[in-house]
Structure formats: structure tokens, C-alpha cells
Structure 1
Amino acid sequence: MNQRIEYVLASEFGPSSETVDVMKFSQEANAISHSVQSSPGPEVDQASIAAECSVADIQNSLMDVWQNPMLSAYLYRSSDVAIASLHGSTSKLAKTRKRSAASSESQNELQEVRELQSKLDAIPLSSWKLQPDAVLFTRPPRNADYNTLTAVKTSDTDMDAPSAGIDSHVLITFTTHFKVQWRSSVLSKCSQHVMMASQTLGDLFEVMPCVSNELPEEVLEDGKVVSYKETNGMHGSSGCVIVVNDVAYGDGLNEEDYADKLIQHLKITKSTTTIKKSRTSMHDTPLSSLALQVNKPYWLLHQGNCEHYIVIDQIRLKHSKDPATGYPLTLYQAPASLDFCQACTKIPAVWSVVGDVRLEASPCLLCDSCWRSMGDPTDESEEVLVLPLPKYKLW
């Protein structure tokens, strides 16, 4: 796939759904569920239905293959060879194909592998094997394809508990996106969250991760920056505005918040966009009071010029297997892109050194070992600032 087309497709959303009034959806869905539960249905044999719909035989056959190291390794290698053959034009891929083909030939000598391959060849589905046209829809994995979370992450226990109203039985799944540094027109997935409809836009803003919120706090003396405080985790933003259906919801922290500044900016630039400020702040606006669209991006601005796009993936009723507490839940969080040390180029940097003439750049990113080996600056008159970079942890 052409790289430019690939980036464009990754930054496109939609088609968007019709507008969903969250409160109306909650009331109608609750009424339907009550009517279904109250209406007596025909007596059926639950055991016979379970037996008819069971896929235990398919599951057992699949598990027998995957639990066999020889067969599972053969399937992995066969898939790699098929994908490499689709993209096979470079010498590196050609060498990979030769090595994989050689290993596959040795595996084919085994009776188990030959039997498995014969079963796969007997599958009548024409779409089972990768066709040459599949090269248009395959790509190597990106950073956003990996999830740093090994389990669903719940929110802090001190977060305000939502009301136990009818809207608390509706769950809304959000995905947040941010603009990449090297091209402002390209978006990348950042995180995914599940919220109750009784929670607010402010709760969504507080739970979404962003590297802009991890910037260290400046230490000022006589109006001049002399050092920085090391951050122990994410802290709240100094301001924010979310635009939903041409309505700007500010944080309400000041008399003139980000929503007012956005409207002033649109007037100064004589923009044709018609956006009005909401009467309530984002922390006083429950999701149940909004009319939302699935697959439509909503714009968010905070920390001066840090932009995000929030996309609703689904609006549904809470299931009995869904967690009872801990909302908003975090289902996905993209790995942070770490900069490597500019001295050794092998270890992620932990310090940003500003104003040191011994270094080739200012600021210069260094790992802890390289910075300690350099020692303190020899010229005491130099004003050198050492800024700790944010620390990330895997959940």
C-alpha cells in the first residue's frame, strides 16, 4: 500500500451514525428490556439449545493444534512466508523467504505437519488463503497496534461515584487520537475508555492520558526558570475545551476559560465556523444530556496547543459481565515513543540538558549513565539546566 494513502486512511473516521440522544436511548432500551423480561416466552429445552449451538468440537481441534509446539510453529512460519511473498521485492524479504522455505521443507517431512497441511488444503473457502490483492490491505505493525495494558485498568477509588440512575446502565466507549509530531495532518490512536452515561465530559478528560500533562513544573526565581520539579505521574491540565455538536464546553476554572478564548479566536480570525459556548462546564455536563454520533470525531484542546480527537466507538447497555465499579475504564493505551540517548544512541534518555557547551545540541537528551560519566560542568559561570524526562510504566 502506498505510504501516503496508508496515513490518510488511518486518519479518516466514519461514516458517522445518526444522532443518538443518550437519555432517550437509555429510557427506550430500559423499557424494552423490562417488556421482554415480563412477557412469558415458550418453554424450551435449554440443554438442547446449548448442545445445538455448541462449538466444542471446533474448539478442541483448534486447541490441539495450538498446544502442539511443532504445529503452531509451522503455522506461524507459513503465515510469515505467505505475507513475505506478497511484499517480496526487496532482498531482505527474499532472504527471509528462502530461510523460511528451507525450514518449511524440513517440517513437511513430518507426518503431523503433512496431515495438518492436507486438512488446510481441503478447506473449500476461496478466501482462506491470502490472495495477491491482499497486499493492498496488509502493512507492518505500528506503535499504535500494541497495547501497554495487560488487563483492564480501573479509575482511582477517590473519583466521584456516578449516580445510580437509569443513565448509569448505559456504557459509552471512546477512543482518543492525537496528532503526530512529524505531520499535523496524521492522527494516531492514543487510548480507549469505557464510561457510564451518568459521568461527565470532565471525567473523560481527566482519565485520558497525554504526554503534555506530564511536563515537569518550572521552578522560578525572580521570574526566571532555574530548575524543574520531577514529575511522579500525570497531573491535571491548566485548561481545556471540548467541542461537541458546535458547542464548546470549557473547564470553568476561570471566569474566562478555554471556551471563551476559542470563541474570541474564531472572531479575530473571522472564521465561518459557528460555535457557541455551553452554559455548563465540562465537569457539570453528563454524557446522558448530549446527543452523540458514533464514528464522528469531536475536537479537544488543552495545554495551549495540544489537540486531540475523541471518537465514540459504541453506545450500549451494561452487560451482567461488565465491571460494576471503577469507571471510567481504560481498555487500551498506546506505548509512549521514547527518545534514545544522543550520546550512546542505545538507551532511552532520562535527562534533557540545556545550556551545556560540551554537548552538540541544546537541549540534548542523555541517559543517566552518559550524564554521570560527563561529570559536572567545569565552568561554573555556565547556566546549565537539567530537566528530568517523564517516567513511564507498564500496567
Structure 2
Amino acid sequence: MRFTRILACTAAMLGLTAQAQATDPIRIGVVLTTTGGASYLGEPEARTLKIYVDQINAAGGVLGRKIETIVYDDGGDANKARTFATRLVEQDGVKLVIGGSTTGTTMAMLPIFEESETLFMSLAGGVSIIEPPRKWVFKTPHTDRMGCEKIFADLKARKLTRIALIAGTDGFGASMRTQCIQVAPNYGVEIAVDLSYGAQDTDMTPQLTTVKGTNGIQAIVNTGASGQGPAILTRNYGQLGMQSIPLYQNPGVASKSFIKLSGPAAEGVRLPAAALLIADKLPDSDPQKNVVLNYQHTYETATKDSVSTFGGGAYDGLMLVVDAIKRANSADPARIRDALENTKGFIGTAGIVNMGPKDHLGLTLNAFHMLVIKDGDWQIVD
């Protein structure tokens, strides 16, 4: 009789524990760059996550459980990002993380999340984040390599083959430079000038003067994305009267703040970007149109600010994870990971996502649009 009572009590306790776990919040760690030179990335990401987590929770959560976020600001510092990643794993007990505003901070956190089998959805652009594939690491934005390929395809179409490459020394800028050098021959592009600038540089006139003095340069491609570097480069380009040489920027500057900071010199600048920036210009037949218009309306209504692809990346990251939790019917990290890896036909702000064991991004080059700045706004080239 006593043994039966013990079994009954144990079963009751296990039942209560399971019931408590089923109603406990799903905890998500968030590490973003909301201050410092790359805050233009982290701020819209943080705002987006808060808006949509609040919406999800108000609607009853996921699987009947609310989402609880634990948020840290790394200030763009890789060492701080690594420290916060360790804290999330060892102190906060988190097994699911969204963040990594920059390639540098993301790469600093990767080993910690891989070793601890913590699911990590990065919001940074470097292709090195997902190549080679890492079991627990995924990402939402188009890669730097895709940016190079889209730019070079446009150069080829315009019969511009001899270029100057100006690379930022930030994580994304350096990574994109490497990717551009690798893929340039595939498009018949010759990199005749290869220069760089630091994240703290306030004048790119010396680099542009070198470009101006080199015979036969037909276009300039900038890979740097951190801070005000791309805008400074663009303003100096205008001040030197170099508009006869087409200037291409990279996907990492895809926000209205870049246009504002660059001023009139931004007119005519081209860059590859997601559909989000030209939501109202998409044809009604485009499967992304409703998604990007809804996100734009929600974000701009809540923040009174313009959308950027960076906030869109955070939306995609959160919704991909939520979708995987629902399909897995579980908050177990391993089951979420497996469901995420098998994502098919997910329509996000960056494109239509089809993942697999060897592809933890799930986007093709068709997800990019080539845009040009005209009259202070984005226009579609292709």
C-alpha cells in the first residue's frame, strides 16, 4: 500500500512538472548591436523583435506558451558578443538565440552555440556563417557572395568589366571583398584597383583619388557596411565629381538612412537588396508582396520610422523559428532544429526560403533585386 502511494505521488509530481513545463515561457536569447557604429543594424532588429514577440504573446503565444526574450547589446564588439553568448548558455539557460547583427559578432558567438547545441539564427550577411554548414547555425539575410554575384551580373549586362573594389575592414566588408575576388572571373570582371578603409575613417578621398587616376576604371564597388563609411565614400565620390563612373554599394547599406547621410551624391547609386525596400512597387502577382507590405505597415506604424532590410531579417528569423516550433509541435531545441532545416516555401521579407541539410539560408539569387536611387528613393532596375 505504501509503495502504491509513493508511485501515485511520484506520478502526480511528474504530471505537475510536465504541466508546468508546458506553460512555461519559451525563452529566446537575443544579442544585437543597438549602440555604436553598427546600431543602424541592431536598432530596427530589436524594434522588430519586440513588436512581433508582443503580438505573438497577445495572441496566446506559441503552442500556448508565451515567448520571453533575454536581450543583450554587444555594441558591435566581438568580445562582448562572445561574453553574452556564454552568459546566455551558462547562466540564463537559453537554448535558442536570435541575433548577431554583424558578421564579426556572429562569428565570435558561433563556437559557443555549436558546442552547447544551442540553436542560433544569425541576422548577419557573411557567407562564412553557414559555409561550411554548421548543425545548429542558420541565418536570414542574403550572403555577401550573393551580393557580389548580383552586382557583377548587372555589370556584365551593362558591359562594364574593369572595376575598382573598395573594401571596408569590418567583418562583412572583408568577407565580401574575399567573395567578390573569388567570383569576379565568373562574370568576366577584372578588379584593377583593390583598396580598403577602416570603420573609423572619416575621409575616403585618398582612395577615390587613386581610382580617379587609374585609367579605364568603369565602375566602383564598395563592400564596407559598418558605420557611416559607405555614406562618407558616396559623399566624397560626389565631391570629386566622379558620377561618370557608376558606384555600387552592398546589401548592408539598404536603408533610407544611407540615402539621407549620402545626400545628393546617392543619386544613381545601385545596390542589390530584398523586396522589402520596394514593397509598394512589386506586382500584385509577386508572392512576397503581402508579406512585405504587412511588415512595412506594422513596423512603420509602431516606430514612425522607415523600414530597412535589417529589421526585415529579424522578422524572418523570428517567424522562421516560430514556424519551426509549430511544425515540430515542441519547444525542444533538437526538434526545432530539425523542423527548421526542413523549411520549404516559407515566404519572408528576404525571399522564399527552402532550406536543407547543406543550406541553412534557403535563398537563391532570384531573391535579390537590383535597385537604383532616384529622387531620394529606391527604384527597381531588374
- Which of the pair is proportionally richer in helix? 2
Give the number of the structure whose alpha-carbon radius of gyration is greater.
1
TM-score normalised by L of structure 2: 0.20
TM-score normalised by L of structure 1: 0.20
Structure with more contact order per residue of length (Cα contacts < 8 Å, sep ≥ 6): 1
- Which of the pair is proportionally richer in strand? 1
